[in-house]
Chain A
Amino acid sequence: MSLAARRSASAMRGHENVKEIAGSAGLALVALVVWQVASGLTFVIPTPVETLRVLVANLGDPAYLTDVRATAVAVVSAFTVGTVLGGIMGLVLGLSRWARLIFEPLVIALNGVPKIVLYPILLPIFQLSGSKVVMGILFALFPVLINVATGVREVPAVYWKLGRSVQASRVQMLLHIILPTIRRPLLTGIRLAASLAVVGVVLSEFFATRRGLGRVVLQSYGHGDYAEMVATILLLIVVSFTVSIMLWRWEKRIR
């Protein structure tokens, strides 16, 4: 590429970025206006300003922060374990014809099960604090597993030949051929796992837990404290949204 062409390409990219930011800002503004209007129609929805006030106040409250920490720890553990476990299972399923024949129908069937119905079974086994992590793992596991298994199966035959012809070991094959080849589906799986780990944990907290943001939401609903409820929901949305966007941008950047 000539220097001029490269410069104009990067200028174009800069232009795209400006458009993207303007678009996002516009969308956020529309959402705010709709929110403001909606808050005037029903007492359940507090105004944006009121919500923000409650949110800031909450974040200064040690008791509330304990709930934030409980949920955060559960989500991060569920995400980490779910991704690693899903990745390993996906590799095995993608690489071994036998594992595929035996386990693939099972995996597909299990993925179709509404996982939350298992919660009452998990509770006596993993206790209140462990069950929501296990639920988060169940939610996070499948997108990674399925994306990795499919990705591995689609590694071009010539890459296997190349690896064998240069006598790559299994570990080298994994690190230098398989993982880079499946980088895109793997990252997509990880992004989905991040948001589904939140879903699994918070959903569990709605049902039964000692501490956590899900419990805060449910309790403030019970007390009719809608500002507290919406502020907490907003916090959950903003955090998951930011993580998803960051992972998505990373996904778009890789070759």
Chain B
Amino acid sequence: MSTIQLDDIRVEFDTPSGKVVAVNGVTQQVPSGGFVSLVGPSGCGKSTLLAVISGLTRATSGQVAVGGKAVTRPGRGIGVVFQEESTLPWRTVQENVQFALQIAGVDKGEQVERANWAIDLVGLKGFEKSYPSMLSGGMRQRVALARTLALEPGVVLMDEPFAALDQQTRIFLGAEVRDIWQRSQQTVLFVTHDISEAILLSQQVWVMSYRPGRIIDVIDVDLPEHRDASIVSSPAFNQLHNRVWSSLQEESKRGFRQQETRT
């Protein structure tokens, strides 16, 4: 069971211009096997919250627990897919996907077996021997996804994994991520600034405010389990989109104003 439990999380950063509260008073839960998207204006602390859950950043106060165990540092049960280009250019696709397994000391035969499974899962079969430089941005992000999935973590955290990709690739990859999730029963927290993406993929959408980041709205996505692109034009989808957008709009404006007064 891999429930993500957040209890009154607060994260402060020291910057040259003083202390910044990035995240404040976040108490939420992602049920085991659930898929939650986190949306918010840029600079609102979405990525910070994700880093806290992954154990890469320590919360200033509050508790994070995954599967009932407090998170204080990165662990094998939690996989992260980064926004930035994170494939290793000197390794082939196969070697990239085996990276985390190799670090974990998994024996060679099992490394290959699990990597093959993950490569197949993300649709990269036939590209095992390619180097990342030979692949498109979307395919490289699949490699990063496969690297994380190969560890078979109970929780997968995705930090705007498709932000650098074009719209079509985003939609394709999003559908695949949802497909993989439905088969794997992993718990997923997906950070994005794309409202449609958030609604299409998840069971629940959390809306985060501008700094200090708080969860200001939680919206259950009561769309059918099987979703394709045509659902975007349905009234139910539009209603959800409007609700998320109206929550977000205020915050985005506030964010702009604060950034303007600061400069």
Contact = CB atoms under 8 A, between A and B. Distances in A.
Contacts of A159: 86, 88
Contact of B56 (A156, A165, A172, A177): A165
A227 to B, nearest CB: 49
A1 to B, nearest CB: 7
A176 B134 CA distance: 21
A165 B86 CA distance: 12
Given A180-B90, A255-B90, A167 B84 contact: no
Contact of A183 (B54, B90, B131, B134): B90
Contacts of B133: 255
A166 B90 contact: no
Contacts of B88: 159, 177, 180
Interface string A85-123: 000000000000000000000000000000000000000
Contacts of A25: none
Contact of B76 (A158, A167, A172, A177): A167
B35 interface: no
A180 B91 CA distance: 9
B25 interface: no
Interface residues of A, number: 20
Given A156-B84, A164-B56, A176 B103 contact: yes
A28 interface: no
| Secondary structure dominating the interface of B | loop
A158 B86 contact: yes
Contacts of B103: 163, 166-168, 172, 176
Contact of A158 (B84, B89, B102): B84
Interface residues of B, number: 27
A57 interface: no
Given A161-B56, A167-B74, A167-B76, A176 B86 contact: no
A162 B90 CA distance: 15
Contacts of A168: 103
Interface string B49-93: 000001110000000000000000111101110101110111100
Nearest to B92: A255
A166 B99 contact: yes
A255 B80 CA distance: 26
Nearest to A160: B56
A251 to B, nearest CB: 14
A166 B100 contact: yes
A161 B82 contact: yes
Interface in A47-82: none
Contacts of A167: 73-76, 103-104
A163 B88 CA distance: 11
Contacts of B55: 165
Contacts of A163: 103
Contacts of B73: 167
Contact of B99 (A156, A158, A176): A176
Nearest to B76: A167
Contacts of A161: 56, 80, 82, 86
Given A176-B102, A255-B89, A162 B82 contact: yes
A159 B54 CA distance: 15
A250 to B, nearest CB: 14
Interface of B: 54-56, 73-76, 78-80, 82, 84-86, 88-91, 99-100, 102-104, 131, 133-134, 151
5 contacts: A1-B134, A162-B86, A168-B103, A172-B103, A180-B88
Which 8 pairs across A and B sit closest by C-beta, in order of nearness?
A158-B84, A166-B100, A180-B90, A158-B86, A165-B80, A166-B103, A165-B74, A168-B103
